[in-house]
Amino acid sequence: MTDVEELADQCRNAFLLSCFTGLRLGDLKSLTWGDITQSPEPAIEKRQNKTQGVVSVPLSPSAWELIKDDRIHKNEELVFPRMTLTKAVNVHQPLIAWRKKAKIARPFGWHAGRHSFAMMTLEASGDIYSVSRLLGHSDVKITSVYLRLTDPRKKEIIASLPEIDTGTKAALIVIGKEEGKEG
C-alpha cells in the first residue's frame, strides 16, 4: 500500500469513526491507543484538544470494527499515525476525492462527521442532554444547534400522537341547566 493509499484508508476510517463518536479532527489526529478501553466494552475516553474536557464515548460494534486490528499497541501510539506524519499531509484531500467520486455537489469537511453523529444520536434518542455529554459540550445550548428536525422525523413525531374518535358527535353540556328544562 502506498503512502497516499494508506493516508486515504486512515482518513476514511477516522471520518467514519467521527460519524460514530462525534470526535473532532484534532481529537482524531491525536487519538492514541491509550485513549481506548476494551473492557468491559470498547470505549474512547479522551481529553479534547479544543476544550480540554474529558469525553467518554462507548464504541458501537461498527465503530470498534473501524479501528480494531487485533494487534498489541503501546498506549502512546497513534491510532491514525499517517494523518500526522508530516506537516505536508493534507487530510482534506481524501474527503474531496470521495465527494467527487460520489458526485456530491455540496462540499463538506471533517466537521460533517461530528454533525452526522449529533443528528443520528439526537434522532435516535431525542435526549439532547446525553448527546451533549457525548459531544463534550459544556452547555446544552451549544448542542441545540443540531436540533434541526428532518422531515421523516417530523412525520414520525406527528404519527405518534394519539387518535381521537371524530365520528361520534359530542353531546353539548350546558353548565347550570338541568337536562330538558329551559332556562
Distance in angstroms (rounded) separating the CA atoms of residues 121 and 143: 12
Whether 172 maps to a domain, the answer reads no
Distance in angstroms (rounded) separating the CA atoms of residues 103 and 97: 10
Task: Please report the pLDDT score of residue 63 as a whole number.
Answer: 94
H-assigned helices in 22-150: 25-29, 61-67, 93-101, 111-125, 128-135, 140-143
Residue 9, number of CB atoms within 10 A of its CB: 14
Closest CA to 33 of 66, 67, 69, 76: 76
Could you give the number of structural domains in the chain?
A: 1
**pLDDT tens string 156-179:** 778 888 887 777 665 555 665 555
Whether 35 maps to a domain, the answer reads yes
Distance in angstroms (rounded) separating the CA atoms of residues 129 and 140: 6
Task: Please report the pLDDT score of residue 164 as a whole number.
Answer: 78
Range of the domain at 47: 3-157
Whether 182 maps to a domain, the answer reads no
Strands 43-47 and 36-37: antiparallel
Whether 23 maps to a domain, the answer reads yes
Whether 17 maps to a domain, the answer reads yes
**pLDDT tens string 2-12:** 888 899 999 99
Task: Please report the pLDDT score of residue 148 as a whole number.
Answer: 67
| Residues in CB range of 33: below 8 A, 6 or more apart | 73, 74, 75, 76, 77, 79
CA angle (108 as vertex; 102, 110 as ends), nearest 5: 110
Q: What is the CATH number of the domain that holds 8?
A: 1.10.443.10
Enumerate residue ranges in the chain where pLDDT < 50.
183
Whether 44 maps to a domain, the answer reads yes
Whether 84 maps to a domain, the answer reads yes
Distance in angstroms (rounded) separating the CA atoms of residues 118 and 88: 30
Whether 70 maps to a domain, the answer reads yes
Give φ, ψ of 102 to 5 degrees: -85, 0
**Residue that has been written with the C-alpha cell 498506549 in this structure:** 75
